[in-house]
Amino acid sequence: MPAPGSMPFVIELRVPAAGERAALLLRPWLAADMPALVTEMGREYPARGLWGHPEDPHDYTGPRDEQEAVPWLAGQDQGWRNGDWLTFAVLDADMTDGPAPARGSLAGHVALKNREAGGRVGEKETAEIGFWTATAHRGRGVAPAAVRAVTAWAFDTLGAGTMRQIMLVHDVDNPASCRVAEKAGYPFSELSPARPPYWFTDGHIHLRTAE
């Protein structure tokens, strides 16, 4: 498997079905995913979780139409080429004829970056992981499973160098993200006080260390 920052790359992470959750396929975002993502943004626009590449001058947290989808996807591609912003589309990969959500539908997103700005992920001690789940797939265990899969991949593939830990950070008033963190193997580490103008609310820091 080619390393992030080199081209071409083919990365696919597969997670078996469990309980109410279908099997999952995680891979870099494609142009074919954009219509489903834009449709999902019309159902519920996230306050965070679907940012563009850090160098993208736009401030939206997910593409709201076809015009925004073009630079948003270009930023995700740039992140893989640079190795500094590694994002996965999470797809329902169930191969049975079960009920909705439909087979192959968009289930979520996971992103991995350095906690400190700049550089390839894996070359600094601390990375940070974030996630978003499509509305129809919430409550099925998609987010914890996807975060676990990317975490394992990151430590196995990127962690041979400097990276020693991955952080998951969320607002204190977001108990759903707190539950995802715990289920994904990220125990609570410490409180992160608000620090305007960088962030305006207190947060929880959950921390997973390399084994």
- 51 assigned to some structural domain: yes
pTM for this predicted structure: 0.89
How many domains, the chain?
A: 1
- 210 assigned to some structural domain: no
SS3 112: strand
Residues 6+ apart with CB under 8 A from 185: 148, 151, 208
The domain of 75 spans 13-166
| Per-state percent for the chain, helix, strand, coil, to nearest 5 | 25, 25, 45
- 171 assigned to some structural domain: no
Compute the Cα dihedral for 99, 104, 109, 111 and give only its sign.
positive
- 118 assigned to some structural domain: yes
How many Cβ atoms from other residues are within 10 Å of residue 144's Cβ?
A: 20
The pair of three-digit structure tokens given for residue 41, joined into one six-digit string: 């943004």
- 27 assigned to some structural domain: yes
SS3 19: coil
Closest CA to 88 of 173, 170, 152: 152
Please check whether residue 145 is in contact with residue 17, taking contact to mean a CB–CB distance below 8 angstroms: no
CATH number of the domain residue 23 falls in: 3.40.630.30
The four Cα atoms 57, 60, 63, 67 give a dihedral, to 10 degrees, of -50
Local confidence pLDDT in tens for the 211 residues of the chain? 444 544 445 799 999 999 989 999 999 999 999 999 999 999 998 887 788 888 888 878 899 999 999 999 999 999 999 999 999 999 998 644 444 444 469 999 999 999 887 789 999 999 999 999 999 999 999 999 999 999 999 999 886 668 999 999 999 989 999 999 999 999 998 888 877 776 678 889 999 998 7
- 95 assigned to some structural domain: yes
Detail the DSSP E strand segments found in the chain. Answer: 13-15, 24-27, 86-92, 106-114, 126-133, 165-171, 188-192, 203-209
- 176 assigned to some structural domain: no
- 36 assigned to some structural domain: yes
